[in-house]
Each structure stands twice: as structure tokens, then as C-alpha cells.
Structure 1
Amino acid sequence: MISCFNFRTQKRKDEAEKERLFLKNGGLLLEALVASCDGKCNPIRSFSSEELMKATNNYDPQRVIAEDSFFILYSGVLQDRPVSVKRYYEESGFELSGLAINDIVIGSQMSAHNNALKLLGCCLETKYPTIVYEFMGDKTLSQFIDDTNGTHGPLLSWKHRIKIAMGIANGVAYLHNALSRPVIHRDIKPPFIVLDQEFNAKLFDFSLSIAIPDGQSYVNDVVVGTSSFLAKEYLCSGNATEKVDVYSFGVVLIQLLTRRKAYEFVHIYEQGLEIGELIETVDASILDEGIELQDLLPFATLARSCVCDEAEDRPTMIHVAKELKQIYQSVPVVSSPTS
């Protein structure tokens, strides 16, 4: 009798806590939506915590797609539909509500673009909102190009590398130019790029993104992001412009070309690049496809322009996307290399 009473009491407490969190997170989300886009964005569906627990098999570690300091992205099945579920660490020691809300607000606006994971909804009953996306793949770009413990993942063909770069560029260009105010991503890197089966790139994390205020050309804020992907002027001043993202994207281009850690070769590209230096940096598997060094120069030159020391010397993301499209169209279709 007593145990039954205790069970009902605990259940009421749990339900009350869920309602408290729902009201708190829902209020924060509504306020952020109004401030960011006057409430005009794609509909955001609400899911229960029980639904997401079931969808991910209690957040099974075997379902992990990507992991960062503050979140884990899982694969799951929700109402017979494959989904990706992003769960922020509740025990991280940091107040992550602002990051999660920002992620939902920007992600909902980016859902219209083909190179961003479509945000389906969220759960507001948890300490930090849990986000639900469409499922487009269970691999990130980092699994293909990051050298983890000295062993690479599957190989990417040169054509696929350019296609991935083109997709990322299109997504970031949209972020910079198509929303109500220009938004700076501030953390473009391979772990935050999901690849589908056709090697279409999908951005999915906008937690650190920030909008440039009306009438200004930059926004000043605490420096965030991953140091090896950050432009020097941002590291020194905290002033973020679109060119900060261009620099980060340039580092990703270098990784696509070299298949090595970002910090290993960036300094070579910053200082200039001759054909002799290119052969020292390029991933040998690209040359194994029969691609000539001369054919890699346009891509390498574009990467170099993106990581220029001076922000004003870097191209815009729209220009970068156009250049990559031309490079992509000039490359013949070849068979994917085998690992």
C-alpha cells in the first residue's frame, strides 16, 4: 500500500517537473523565435520524452551518429519514420538552454535548404530541449577525412569531395544571405556535417550561430568554436563577420584535399602554394584515381583564398559556391576508390 502511494507520488512529481520544464523551455523558445524571425518560421512539432526514449531505444550508444562536448546525435525510429535525435548533455556542468534554443531557432529557418538537416520538432520536457531531425545518414564527414588514431575511414572519390564541399558552401551561403539577418555559423567543421548515401552534405548544428544586428557589419561576442578552424581576427577581437565562416570553410577544404588534421597544413596554404608544395600535401588516394596535380590547383587555390590572413581578401560564400560548382562540372566521373 505504501509503495503504491510512493509510486503515485513520484509519478506526480515527475509529471510536474516535465510541465515546469515544458513551460520554461517553451517560453524561451517563443521569445527567441519572435526576436529572430518575428515568429515566422517552419512549424515546430512537440514530442514527449517517452516518445524519444522509445525512438532511440533508451538512447542506445550503438545508435550514436555524432558526438560533441555538449551533445550526442542518435539515429532512431519515430512513428515508423527514421529520424535523428540530438540530445544535449544534462550533466555537462554548463547552462545549455540558450544553445539548444538557438539551435532550434536557426535550424528551423535552415530547414528549407537542401544542405541542412530538416528540423521536425523538439521535446521541451527535458532539462535542455531535445531536437528531432529527418534522418539522412549515419555518417559525418569527419569519419571520412579525420585521421583518428592513425587510421582513416572509407575513401572518398575526388568528385565526391568536391560535391560535399559544394553542398556545405551552398548551405553556409544561405545562412549568410537568405535569413532575416545574416547569421554567422562560427563552428563549421567535419563532425557537424552529415552525409547521405549520395554524399550530399547536411549541416545540423547551429547552437553557436549568431546574427549580425541590423545596421552593422559584424557582431562582437565571446569567442567560441574550435580553435584550429577559427580566423585570427576573430580569435583576437571577438568580432564575427561572414568572413569568419569563410576561413573555417577553407580549413575544411584543406582537409578534403589532404585528408589530414586541420592544423597540419593550414599554415602552408596561408602563405601561398606552389605546385611542388601541393604534391606534398595532397591525399595520395586522389592521385591514385588518375587525377593530375594541375587539375587540383583550382580547388587548392580556392582553399588558399578562403584562409587568407586578411578577412577582406577572402571571397564571399556565394562566390565560393559558384567556383566549386565550376570545378565540380569540370571533373570527369570516376569510380570511387576502395579503402
Structure 2
Amino acid sequence: MSLMLCWGIRKRKLIMLKEKFFEQNGGLMLQQRLSSTEKGPFETTKIFTAKELEVATNNYHESRVIGEGGYGIVYKGILPNNKVVAIKKSKFGAQIVPTEQIEQFINEVILLMQINHRNVVRLLGCCLETEVPLLVYEFITNGTLFQHIHNKGNEAYTSLSWELRLKIATETAGALAYLHYETNTPIVHRDIKTMNILLDENFIAKVSDFGTSRLIPIDEDQLSTLVQGTVGYLDPEYLQTSQLTEKSDVYSFGVVLGELLTGQKAFSFDKSNNVSQVLAMSLLSLKDDDQFNKFIDDDILNDGNMEVIKEVANLTKRCLRIKGDDRPTMKEVAMELEGLRAMSKHPWMNVDHLDTEESQHLLGAKLPINPYSGYDLECGSSGATTAMYDSMQTQPILNPFDDGR
């Protein structure tokens, strides 16, 4: 009898604790927002219970871990309908969070749930009954762009042709342009890198990991915040001024283009010689075609249209300009890559005469969402298998030994 009583008391305490966390994490606020919003993109959105995610991950068994970074752990989860998802669980315990920050977090979750772009990893829902909110994402199966470029010789990853690299670059640029311009509240990703570009079974690019993203109020041009990001990809202007703009993503995307062109990592450090190499600086130092050709990845030298490759290299250098105002916008980058991709397929085409509307199709439809302001909270990450979820870490910018991920 006493055992039953103890069990009942313990169960009641656990229920009360879950209710406390749910309210503390803004659960009631999220429920109210979702119920007062037209269904649309929320048809597949769900507030998961702690029990549902425990069952989905076999109680967070170590065999379900598919990635681990500085921020937390990502598990592979299998829902009752056999849908496979990625569940991000923070390593850090809960802290007392001011009410206004909880509201900002809920606003950001709602906005990210509304993003429905084929080249952005979809946030499916969250769980607020735990000490720290858990975020649930679609599961992407084919690794990261980083793995396919840099893990040569590993049978698990495919050597990417130039045609495939150009497609992935075009899709990624389209997704970023969509986030910058096609949402009522512009979203700056802030940590664009090849580890955060996932590939599905058809090698369709999926931009992931919004763990360091920031939503920029529509009445402000810049957002001043603590500098975060990854060595080798950080916009030097942002690093100097702490002013975040859409052009910060443009710079990081320029580094991604550089990796696609050269097969080299964004940042590398040779411990034996105590020498580091920053890919962006190496690309900007190239003076002529001979130097350029020596820098190009051997896998694409005989595989691609050299004229198109050179045009992409020129675009890369424009993205890497020191001053943000001198860089193109992501919308311009996406349109140019779409044109170059078309020209690569049909060399007789004049890129200047491409149908503008056709070039813009990657940018997606404008979301019918209300603008919010004042966001300064991190949201989740997402991923695929094993090392790809390591991308969720917000890496310290002063770590010179980072491998570029």
C-alpha cells in the first residue's frame, strides 16, 4: 500500500513538474497563438508531449544519438506513424527567463514553423514539458555538403559533379534569398557553412540549423548583437562592428561557393608547420587564370564548363568583398546562379536575356505572416545522420583549430 502511495505521489510530482516547465517555456502562449492563427502551414505542426518524444527516442538511448555539438545533442526519433524526425535536446539546464524573452522565443518558433520552402529544413514542432524546450525537425538522409566535399575516399559520400555542385549552390542561394526577402520579418541565418547544408536522397539542398539565426525587425537595417559564427565563414565587417545584416550571410555563402569550387575547407590549420589557411583570403589573392586553375578542385576541372566555373568564381569574389555594401544581395546571387546553371545546360543561351520571372522561381511564395520585432533568442537546429547534426553547435569565433564546420 505504501509503495502504491509513494508511486502515486511521485507520478503527481512529475505531472506538476511537466506543467510547470510547459508554462515556464511559454506553452500556454504558444497554444493560444496557434489556435488563433489560420491553420495553413500549421496543419502539420505539433506541440509534442515529453512522453511522446521519450518513446520516439527509446528514452533518449545512446544508439539514437545522430549528432552532438557544443549546444546539445540531436536524436533520431521514430513517431507512432513511423515518420522519422530529428529531435534536438539542449545540454544546458533551464535558467530564469524574463517574460519578454519567452514571448520572443515563442514568436520565433511560430515564424519558423511557417517556413515552407523545399530547400529549408522544416521545423515540425516542439516539446515544452521539459526543462529546456525540445525542437523537432524533418529528418534529412544523405549527409551534409561538407561531408560530400571533404570526405573523399569515404564510400558513404558521393563525389559531387560540377553540375550537382552548381545545382546545390543555386538551391541554397534561393533558400537564403527566400529567408531574407520573402518573409515579412527578414531572417538572417548567421551561420551558413557546408555543415549546415544538408542533402536528401535526391541531393536536394536543405538549409539547416537556425541555432544562431536572428530575425531582423523590419524597421531596422541592422541588429547589434554578440558576434557568433564559425571560423572561416565569419563576415569581417560583422566581426569588426557586431552589426548583423543580410550581407553577412552573403559573405558566408561566398565561402561555401569557394569550397564547392576548390574542394578545400573554409579554414585549415597545419599543426606541424603552425600554419593556418583561410580559404576566403586565398581566393581573393588569386590574380590570373593560371593561379585560378591550380586552385580548382581536380574533380571538376574536366567535368564542368570552364566559362561557367570562372563566372561562379567571379561571383564568389564579389560575395567575399570586405564591405557589405559592395556585395550583391542574396536575391541577386540566386538569380545569377540560376542563369549560370541554365547557361551551363545550354551554352548557346545568353544569360542576360533569361526570363527574370523564371530565374526567381527559387525564392518561393511570400508568407502571410505578421511582422514581429525585437527578437534576440536562439532557436533550434536540424540535421541528418551522424556528423551532420554536429552543425548545431554555435562555435566560438576565437577557436583557431576549428575544422571549418
TM-score, structure 1 length as denominator? 0.84
Deviates more, 1:251-260 or 1:145-154: 145-154
For 1:28 and 1:149, the matched residues in 2 are separated by 50
For 2:23 and 2:285, the matched residues in 1 are separated by 53
> What amino acid sits opposite 1:22 in the alignment?
F
Residue 152 of structure 1, CA deviation: 9.4
Once the two structures are superposed, the pairs formed by residues 53-92 of structure 1 within 5 Å of their partners are: 53-91=54-92
**1:1-32 C-alpha deviation (Å, 9 max, x unpaired):** 44433332222221111111111113586499
> What amino acid sits opposite 1:20 in the alignment?
K
> What amino acid sits opposite 2:22 in the alignment?
F
Once the two structures are superposed, the pairs formed by residues 1-339 of structure 1 within 5 Å of their partners are: 1-27=1-27, 30=30, 42-43=41-42, 44-91=45-92, 104-110=109-115, 112-146=116-150, 153-263=157-267, 264=277, 265-287=279-301, 289-291=302-304, 293-332=306-345
Q: What SS does the corresponding residue of 1:84 show, helix, strand or coil?
A: strand
**1:254-288 C-alpha deviation (Å, 9 max, x unpaired):** 1122222102421022345532222232221112x
Q: What SS does the corresponding residue of 1:223 show, helix, strand or coil?
A: coil
Q: Is the 8 Å Cα contact of residues 122 and 131 (structure 1) preserved in structure 2?
A: yes
Q: Is the 8 Å Cα contact of residues 163 and 304 (structure 2) preserved in structure 1?
A: no
Q: Is the 8 Å Cα contact of residues 168 and 205 (structure 2) preserved in structure 1?
A: yes
Question: Is the alpha carbon distance of 1:8 and 1:28 closer, same or farther for their aligned partners in structure 2, counting shifts above 3 Å?
Answer: closer
Q: What SS does the corresponding residue of 2:83 show, helix, strand or coil?
A: strand
Higher relative contact order (CA 8 A, sep 6+): 2
Q: What SS does the corresponding residue of 1:228 show, helix, strand or coil?
A: coil
Residue 137 of structure 1, CA deviation: 2.0
For 2:255 and 2:218, the matched residues in 1 are separated by 29
Q: Is the 8 Å Cα contact of residues 286 and 292 (structure 2) preserved in structure 1?
A: no
Corresponding residue pairs, total: 328
Percent identity reads: 36
Q: Is the 8 Å Cα contact of residues 79 and 85 (structure 2) preserved in structure 1?
A: no
Q: What SS does the corresponding residue of 1:214 show, helix, strand or coil?
A: coil
For 2:25 and 2:184, the matched residues in 1 are separated by 23
Gaps of 5+ in 1: 334-339
> CA-atom RMSD, angstroms?
3.3
Q: What SS does the corresponding residue of 1:331 show, helix, strand or coil?
A: helix
> What amino acid sits opposite 1:269 in the alignment?
L
Residue 149 of structure 1, CA deviation: 12
Question: Is the alpha carbon distance of 1:304 and 1:329 closer, same or farther for their aligned partners in structure 2, counting shifts above 3 Å?
Answer: same
TM-score, structure 2 length as denominator? 0.72
Residue 330 of structure 1, CA deviation: 3.0
For 1:234 and 1:31, the matched residues in 2 are separated by 36
Q: Is the 8 Å Cα contact of residues 122 and 130 (structure 1) preserved in structure 2?
A: yes
Q: Is the 8 Å Cα contact of residues 83 and 135 (structure 1) preserved in structure 2?
A: yes
Which protein has the bigger helix share?
1
Question: Is the alpha carbon distance of 1:72 and 1:189 closer, same or farther for their aligned partners in structure 2, counting shifts above 3 Å?
Answer: farther
**1:222-267 C-alpha deviation (Å, 9 max, x unpaired):** 1112132111111111101110010011111111222221024210
**1:171-222 C-alpha deviation (Å, 9 max, x unpaired):** 1111111112222111111222221111111123223222222332111111
For 1:26 and 1:290, the matched residues in 2 are separated by 52
Question: Is the alpha carbon distance of 1:189 and 1:39 closer, same or farther for their aligned partners in structure 2, counting shifts above 3 Å?
Answer: farther
> What amino acid sits opposite 1:309 in the alignment?
I
Q: Is the 8 Å Cα contact of residues 73 and 85 (structure 1) preserved in structure 2?
A: yes
Q: What SS does the corresponding residue of 1:139 show, helix, strand or coil?
A: coil
Q: Is the 8 Å Cα contact of residues 246 and 314 (structure 1) preserved in structure 2?
A: yes
Deviates more, 1:233-242 or 1:214-223: 214-223
Question: Is the alpha carbon distance of 1:191 and 1:7 closer, same or farther for their aligned partners in structure 2, counting shifts above 3 Å?
Answer: farther
Question: Is the alpha carbon distance of 1:12 and 1:185 closer, same or farther for their aligned partners in structure 2, counting shifts above 3 Å?
Answer: same
Residue 154 of structure 1, CA deviation: 3.0
> What amino acid sits opposite 1:54 in the alignment?
V
> What amino acid sits opposite 1:311 in the alignment?
G
> What amino acid sits opposite 2:254 in the alignment?
G
Residue 75 of structure 1, CA deviation: 3.0
For 2:145 and 2:252, the matched residues in 1 are separated by 15
Residue 127 of structure 1, CA deviation: 1.7
For 1:173 and 1:212, the matched residues in 2 are separated by 14
Q: Is the 8 Å Cα contact of residues 70 and 92 (structure 1) preserved in structure 2?
A: no
Question: Is the alpha carbon distance of 1:141 and 1:32 closer, same or farther for their aligned partners in structure 2, counting shifts above 3 Å?
Answer: farther
Deviates more, 1:73-82 or 1:222-231: 73-82
For 1:277 and 1:152, the matched residues in 2 are separated by 32
For 1:146 and 1:95, the matched residues in 2 are separated by 41
Q: What SS does the corresponding residue of 1:88 show, helix, strand or coil?
A: strand
